[in-house]
Amino acid sequence: MKFHWFAEATYDDLPEVFPQRHQSGSVDYPAALVDSARVGANYRMQIRLMQQADRLGWDGLAVNEHHQSTFAMTPSPNLMAASLAGTTENAAILVIGDSLALYNPPVRVAEEMAYLDCLSEGRVIAGFVFGTPMDTAFAYGVPPAELRDRFHEARRLITRAWTEPEPFAFNGTYTKLRYVNTLPRPVQAMPPVWVPGTGSVETWDLVLDENYCYGYLSFFGLANARPIVAGFWDRVEQRGLDPNPYRMAFTQLVCVADTDAEAEARYAEAVRYFFTRQKGAPHYGAPPGYTSQASQREALDRAKGVSPETRLKATRGELSFWEYDELGFIVAGTPERVRQRLRELATELRIGQLITCMHMGNLPEETAAMNNELFGTQVAPYLRDLWADHEDHWTPAVSQHRVAAHAPRIPVPSRQESTR
């Protein structure tokens, strides 16, 4: 099993009740309420925590792209990835990812990811994302009905720019270039590609057609994920493809402490902050044309997970710490309890790539560093055996080799201990 450290750079000083005229933490949130110096301190903290995760054996370090958002203040994931590519040694640099439809021209993505792959000695995972409605339609003004066409045209251009041996002309609908001759090229002949999604059937077919990894980015727990993950694996079976667990990634908030009581004491406030500040106005969430009719039908036919009432309670902070845990919004407790819960989750959902959220909301750096240490040394080594009989085609070979050589292992009992 593989583990990837996810940097969700949430601004950590948001009021619980947003200003009356502003229903959302994205798009139109008052810039005067965000302290840039504090944002910079948060960036530096995220980088330090990911550098620690690299030393502790995480398989990947994941960065994302959002715009005009207080929830994830990373408008260019490639910038944070560059900070990591030159200051870490082992983990993959998982850019999950660049919103392809927003780049003009998209060869900029090909160039910057190639730079990252060269700097990291071949450790880049290329995440291609469609982008949220807030990012694409409202912050960047892309017509929702054009989004997928723009994405696919950009994806074809980028992958061709990495692999075409000679300069070529590209005459697309949205991008027209007389000369495409991307320099540098990635160290990897073709970096592995991940595409995140939330249940769109078109995204399922894309990743299966192209042999990409599908990343289900859910923060609403196991019960909510079950029908969507089951739908994906049903699609794999219908297509007659190998149900390799490594072709799916799953996001999970994790809170580890020496005792269950300490876990609640240290993480409860940050968990509540994380869920109560994810406010989004309904009119930003589903602009016409963003979701296809086929995906809407699939969502209506799909078995339901977490009820709207429970989700509303979570976002209002009306759940207790252990109710968040029971519903799977978080996995919390002692190392023994966390590894048991994660083994059950990964086995039930057939997950080979776990994207761990070790820092959430306004969690202090000291606690996040403790979380890293306990997970890296007392949880991850005990789950490495999961899916060991399958080959991971979606993590760079160099990072797999380096992590295997340096990651913490299960302590071997001494001869005296083993004979007691």
Predicted confidence at residue 417, as pLDDT, reads 47
* 212 in Cβ contact with 237 (< 8 Å): no
Predicted confidence at residue 302, as pLDDT, reads 63
pLDDT per residue over 59-86, tens digit each?
999 999 999 999 899 999 999 999 999 9
Give the single-character DSSP code of 69: B
Mean pLDDT of all residues in 352-377: 98
Tell the residue number behind the tokens 């399922």, with chain if given.
204
Phi and psi for 256 in degrees, rounded to 5?
Answer: -110, 140
Fold designation for 2-410: TIM Barrel (3.20.20)
pLDDT per residue over 35-45, tens digit each?
999 999 999 99
Check whether 418 has a pLDDT greater than 50. no
The domain spans of the chain are 2-410
Q: Is the pTM of this model over 0.85?
A: yes
Look up residue 58 and give its two tokens.
């995480």
Report the chain's terminal Cα–Cα distance, integer Å: 32
* 379 in Cβ contact with 256 (< 8 Å): yes
Number of Cβ within a 10 Å radius of residue 260: 15
Check whether 161 has a pLDDT greater than 60. yes
Check whether 111 has a pLDDT greater than 90. yes
Predicted confidence at residue 303, as pLDDT, reads 58
